[in-house]
Amino acid sequence: MIELKEVNKYFDGLQVLGNLSFSVSRGKILCILGPSGCGKTTILRILAGLLPIDGGQVIQKEPIVSSYVFQEPRLLPWKTVKENINFVISHSSLAKDKRIDFYLQKTGLQEYANYYPHQLSGGMKQRVALVRAFVYEHQLLLMDEPFQGLDVKTRNLLLNQTHLLWKETQNTIVFVTHHVEEALLLGDEILLLSKKPAQVKRRISIGLPRKERNLQDPNFQKQYEGIVQSF
Amino acid sequence: MQNFTTKSKRKNKGKFFWISLFLFFTIWYFLSQWVAYRYHPMILPSPFEVIQVMFTFFTQKVFWQSIGLTLYRGLMGFWLAAMIGIPLGFLMGFLPEIDAFFRPFVITLQTTPTVSWLALALIWFGRPSSMTIFITFIAVFPLLVINVYQGMGQLDEFLQEMATLFQVSKRRQFISLYLPQLLPFILAGSRAGIGMTWKAVAMAELLSGRDGIGGRMALARVNLSTTEVLAWTGILMLLGYLGERVMKYITDKAIGHWRGYL
């Protein structure tokens, strides 16, 4: 759907991306895994078309509308959960309204539809941001370390819900993280990046259906160890 | 336990408020007695006399007319300042060119002493009402411009980026993103502005005419009635206090529910 070919990017003379090449396949979840500060956010911004590149090519056949989940929830404090979601919808309709309700229900937020962000926990706010991103009409969903700073339990819950919502839309997701477990549990493919300037070290396909993935499973464990080692 | 401490603390605070008020009136009373004995009772009337005069005011038609006139002038000046000042502060924060263009103008308004404006206004305006409205406008306008402008400087960039990435229309961004963030600044400016309004109105009226609260004060001064001057002062303070309460009420109503302090 979108391909990066030998992309270079510099910030003030410092090379962040060095001949980075990879492609994003339609309808798949691609996890970009890399050490902190290796330019993962830069990659997302390039995919979103927000950042010009200093060399190479970004190839896409048609214009792509992207949706986002940020590191922070980025909700409007003066709007309720439902109003926050409606904020990004340009023309509301009954069908869209139903879809919002459906997603809220899927993520267990329907009772909180009229709550203000300050009344919600950090994990719940991020769930609202997740629903907002999925409700927004998009072809590509970009997620930038969205579950950072949340505890393990909340993170797993949000991973599950991301998957749940993704099953509804079947859209393409690029998910940036530095948690190996997150990438292993959610991704169809994992792109392992090197330190700055970022290059693709390995591209790993995970054949196992998500339901059967279990960090306690010996085989899965081996894959995990392998990634951690080359990390 | 926690609750208990905060409650008793609050109670203490209330106690000190009343002690302070009581002391103020006691000192005033004894001072007035001493001044009356040593010099002349006209110089400083006792608080009881002032309060008594205030009550006789309430029965007079001219009192209510003066209040009405002063309110009209103050609110008119304030309203004009808000109508021009708030959009200007917004635009100055929005476009650097507008900022640069209007900055000297705003700084001039802010730094020119009010008495200069008063002197000029006495020459320019024939009618006390237009002059008073003008002076109020001049006094309140910079407060609102500067507050809104400061608010524009503190807009949340994360939310801005979010709205841009989700391609939210400019119109909706203005209503749902800018205005709510500016509201606390508009209200803070208005609160300061309302406080300023009554002072400016009274000053302009005192110098310009015979009507309104300031005009009545001027008349009392000519009659050497310290009591009436003080009574009118009390009325002005009451107006200022009420204005402040109303603004606080509006602020809480407008932003309390999402700030979480209601």
Task: Encode pLDDT of A158-180 as tens digits.
Answer: 998 899 889 888 889 999 988 88
Residues B77 and B171 in one domain: yes
Question: A68 vs chain B: nearest CA distance in angstroms?
Answer: 8
A66 touches chain B (CB under 8 A): yes
* CATH number, position B250: 1.10.3720.10
- Work out the angle at residue A51's Cα, subtended by the Cα atoms of residues A45 and A57, and round it to the nearest 5 degrees: 95
Look up the ipTM and state it. Answer: 0.87
Residues B7 and B90 in one domain: no
Q: Residue window 94-113, chain A: list those with CB within 8 Å of chain B.
A: none
The CATH 3.40.50.300 domain(s) of chain A lie at 2-65+139-230
Which CATH homologous superfamily contains domain A2-65+139-230?
P-loop containing nucleotide triphosphate hydrolases (3.40.50.300)
What are A98-103's contacts with CB under 8 Å, separation 24+?
Answer: A99/A135, A100/A131, A100/A135, A103/A131, A103/A134, A103/A135, A103/A165, A103/A168
Average pLDDT over residues A108-130: 92
Facing residue for A74 by CB, picked from B162, B167, B180: B162
Facing residue for B165 by CB, picked from A68, A79, A90: A68
Q: How many CA atoms lie less than 13 Å away from B142 in the CB half-sphere?
A: 16
Question: Scanning every residue of chain A, which has its alpha carbon at the shortest distance from the alpha carbon of B171?
Answer: A90
In chain A, residues with a C-beta closer than 8 Å to the C-beta of B259 are 77, 118
* More confident position, A198 or A106: A106
Chains A & B: contacts with CB separation below 8 Å: 46
The whole-number pLDDT of residue A151 equals 87
pLDDT under 50 in chain B at which residues? Answer: 1-3, 262
Taking the C-alpha atoms of residue B199 and residue B237, their distance in angstroms, rounded to an integer, is: 9
B3: containing domain: 1-44
Question: A102 vs chain B: nearest CA distance in angstroms?
Answer: 21
Nearest Cα to A50, choosing from A58, A12, B143?
A58
Residues B15 and B128 in one domain: no
A67 touches chain B (CB under 8 A): yes
Facing residue for A78 by CB, picked from B158, B166, B258: B258
Question: Scanning every residue of chain A, which has its alpha carbon at the shortest distance from the alpha carbon of B261?
Answer: A118
Which of A44, A46, A47, A78 has the most B C-beta neighbours within 10 Å, making it the best mutation to test the interface with B?
Answer: A78
The whole-number pLDDT of residue B3 equals 47
A68 touches chain B (CB under 8 A): yes
Residues B80 and B15 in one domain: no
Structure tokens at B256: 């309390």
Taking the C-alpha atoms of residue B224 and residue B226, their distance in angstroms, rounded to an integer, is: 6
Beta-carbon separation of A116 and B257 below 8 A: yes
DSSP structural state of residue B177? I
Nearest Cα to A193, choosing from A27, A25, A44, A14?
A44
Structure tokens at A193: 């990046």
Beta-carbon separation of A88 and B168 below 8 A: yes
Taking the C-alpha atoms of residue B22 and residue B18, their distance in angstroms, rounded to an integer, is: 6
Taking the C-alpha atoms of residue A94 and residue B248, their distance in angstroms, rounded to an integer, is: 39
Q: What is the pTM of this model?
A: 0.81
Q: What share of chain A is helix, strand, coil (3-state, %, to 5)?
A: 40, 25, 35
Domain count along chain B:
2
Q: What is the pLDDT of residues B40-72, one digit of tens each?
A: 988 999 999 999 999 999 999 999 999 999 999
Task: Find out whether A8 and A15 touch, Cβ atoms under 8 Å.
Answer: yes
- SS3 readout for A91-132: CCCHHHHHHHHHHHHHCCCHHHCCCCHHHCCHHHHHHHHHHH
C-alpha A92: how far from chain center: 25
Residues B96 and B33 in one domain: no
Size (chain A), residues = 231
Question: A69 vs chain B: nearest CA distance in angstroms?
Answer: 9
Residues B143 and B185 in one domain: yes
Taking the C-alpha atoms of residue A230 and residue A200, their distance in angstroms, rounded to an integer, is: 12
Q: What is the pLDDT of residues A10-19, one digit of tens each?
A: 888 788 888 8
Residues B241 and B154 in one domain: yes
In which order are the strands placed within the sheet that holds A66-69?
Answer: A66-69, A140-144, A172-177, A29-33, A189-193, A200-205
When the pLDDT of each residue in chain A is averaged and rounded to a whole number, the result is 86
The whole-number pLDDT of residue A115 equals 92
